Structure 1
Amino acid sequence: MAHRLFTYGTLMDRDTMEGLLEHKAGITRPAILTGYQTYPSAYGYPYILPVQEGKVEGVLWSDLSDEDLLRTDEYEGLLDENPMYFRKSITVDVDGQPVEAWVYIGIPEAFTDVSVDFEPLATKEIPDNVDIYTLVDFLNDTLKDDGLLFRVKKKGETMTISIYKV
């Protein structure tokens, strides 16, 4: 049976997916999952949870076999003693069309049972076209008490952002 899988983290990468499956992966298309939001984890990879106004952008993989799905289950730890995800059938939007697919959803207790606080240190709304210097000023104002200093150096078409511990 052919399966579709919506991915939003490390499995969006073709090389990662093909290395996991040990064969060429199927077709991918950009997709959007509404009603969920992506969160960072202390482990370095994202997870999603249901959020009414949420939206997750990702990749839809098509034509995955039962064996492929088992491999992704193993990769996401579904077979572990204390899994961090569960797999659920959902509907994603692909070019304005609803498409049924599987997705891995985080188990909140698995990600919140760590000594990391994800509350923001500071929040400031800025226009999406803000210049980098305004952003650096915000970072400096926010993190100066933590002993961090940000500097930007522009050289031709590139910029270097440096962070110093002061």
Structure 2
Amino acid sequence: MARPSYAVRIRSRIAELEALILQMQAELDELRVAERVIERLGGDDDDETPARGQRSRTIGELIVEVLGLHGPLESKGVLELVRDRQDTTANTISTTLSRLKDSGQVLLDGRMWSLAQKEEASPDGNPKEAIEPGENEVSPVSADAPDEGVFS
């Protein structure tokens, strides 16, 4: 019995793959229909994506939340706690921390990141410090201070 030529074997494999593609496309189409039906019915309770009209929190908002709950943290601590809430990378955390620092929302003191203190108005309308000076005060970072690598 003669062996089939390469061209015949190639054509045969192409036909097999095209049949698989058709089967997979049919299944994909069915899954898309099912997904639309579930969305119309209100979504899946176990779904972690935000509901329509709701936006997910930004990494910056999560960092501010983490620092507000846990106080000053090193970059690695911020990364771990943010990752508990949302998947992200060290690079994203580093970039976001730098942007939050530039916007005045967070401070970097040595290797510790903390929330910047906001001024509150006293009952007479004059600004007052959010905390009393003392052991809980975080000194602002000098603009002349070298910015160390966030994850060094």
| Fold-level similarity (TM above 0.5) | no
**Bigger proportion of residues as strand:** 1
What TM-score do the two structures reach when normalised by structure 1? 0.18
- Larger Rg belongs to: 2
Structure number with higher relative contact order (C-alpha < 8 Å, ≥ 6 residues apart): 1
